[in-house]
Structure 1
Amino acid sequence: MSRLAPLEPPYAPEIREQFDRIMRGAPPLMLFRVMAGHARAWEKFRGGSLLDRGPLSLREREIVIDRTCALNACEYEWGVHVAAFAQAAHLTEEQVRATVLDDAGAACWSAAEQALIAAVDALHQRATLDDAEFKALAAHCDEDGILEIIQLCGFYRTVSYLANTLKLPLEPTAARFPERVK
């Protein structure tokens, strides 16, 4: 049970339109229903959500989001993204597991993806990149891509704070964190 009550249908026409635009006609996620019940928070959330197509490929974007959510122990958002986008992003089962269980050097990633994951890890741990990490990332991303990565990490850390603190119940169709193989 969420700590804050979600909106229940029927939704106001403006909210219904926003949900339909974001969810493409699917039922709105619990996170969206909770946020939409608070006009200012919902406006800020939608304004900073980076839901548009940006300078990163879908695959790069999802690696950043999945890793950020995993590092923040946010099974809710990680699971939503894996269920919705992993296949379209051509993430293998091994790679999906690696976003949660492996370090940036896992063999399942290309050199560019290893640099991307190392950057996400550094941003999570220290809120910055050292010169070597920045150089490694810049070898694979242009300036717009680097800025997008930083913003995605920050936004999905906030999403993780929201989902974890509000104790959002896991979406029924979302993936679940993998268990470490013993």
Structure 2
Amino acid sequence: MTAETAPRIPPLEAPYPEGIAELLTRMTPPQAPEVLGLFRVMAVNPRLAERTLELGRHFLGRKASISLRERELVILRVCARCGAEYEWGVHWSGFADAAGLGEAERRATAARDADLGALQPRDALLLRMVDQLHDTGDIDDALWRALGEHWSHAQLLELMMLAGWYHAVSYVCNAARVPLERWGARW
């Protein structure tokens, strides 16, 4: 491991300080093979980790008003645009199959210059939304109208917040240099 790839905030290691083991258990999805490195980094600040838990559960759980496929396409594209291979790989390995994503979506979410024409039209709209938000912090009128043909205002708010949330997650993954998971996909 080089200085450029060494974690800047090392993930906590067991045995964990009092209360941290329970927090990490609540943060870790049941299907995860182990406690994720990102969660062990976040647990360095337990109060912040606790506060982010509910928002993360909303975006990934049954409370969301958008489908798993839609959520994962947004998450994957945001992470790729931010260069967050850690989070992109965790989501690809953990959710792509369940979301019905295949090789065309993998290529489209991972490459900035991917041909979105190979995607379903709704999927391409989501990736275009992420790209515009990432590049400009806004959505132009034409894309907004196109998005509005498929998603309600409440869903559009959720999609924009989801993109922003995973932008923040990507910042943490990249700047803290969270070590890649052994089982996570790579670009």
In structure 1, the partner of 2:29 is: 23
Q: Tell me the C-alpha RMSD between the 2 structures.
A: 1.9
Aligned match of 1:48 in 32, 55, 68? 55
Query: In the alignment, is the contact (CA less than 8 A) between 1:104 and 1:117 conserved in 2?
Result: no
5+ residue gaps, structure 1, are 178-182
Query: In the alignment, is the contact (CA less than 8 A) between 1:20 and 1:26 conserved in 2?
Result: no
Mark the CA change 1:13 to 1:64 in structure 2 (over 3 Å): closer, same or farther. Answer: same
**C-alpha separation between the residues in 1 aligned to 2:25 and 2:131?**
33
Mark the CA change 1:88 to 1:72 in structure 2 (over 3 Å): closer, same or farther. Answer: same
- Comparing 60-69 with 113-122, greater Cα deviation is found at 113-122
TM-score by length of 1: 0.89
In structure 2, the partner of 1:180 is: none
The answer to whether structure 1 residue 11 and structure 2 residue 20 are counterparts is no
**C-alpha separation between the residues in 2 aligned to 1:123 and 1:102?**
13
In structure 2, the partner of 1:106 is: 116
Match of 2:74, as an amino acid? V
Query: In the alignment, is the contact (CA less than 8 A) between 2:70 and 2:123 conserved in 1?
Result: yes
The answer to whether structure 1 residue 132 and structure 2 residue 142 are counterparts is yes
5+ residue gaps, structure 2, are 1-5
Match of 1:23, as an amino acid? P
Q: Deviations over 1:58-99 (max 9, x none)?
A: 100000000000000110100000000011111011211111
The answer to whether structure 1 residue 120 and structure 2 residue 125 are counterparts is no
Q: Deviations over 1:5-55 (max 9, x none)?
A: 222112357433333333216421111001112123212332432333301
Quote the sequence identity (%).
42
- Comparing 62-71 with 99-108, greater Cα deviation is found at 99-108
Secondary structure of the equivalent of 1:27?
coil
**C-alpha separation between the residues in 2 aligned to 1:146 and 1:105?**
24
Match of 1:86, as an amino acid? A
**C-alpha separation between the residues in 2 aligned to 1:15 and 1:122?**
38
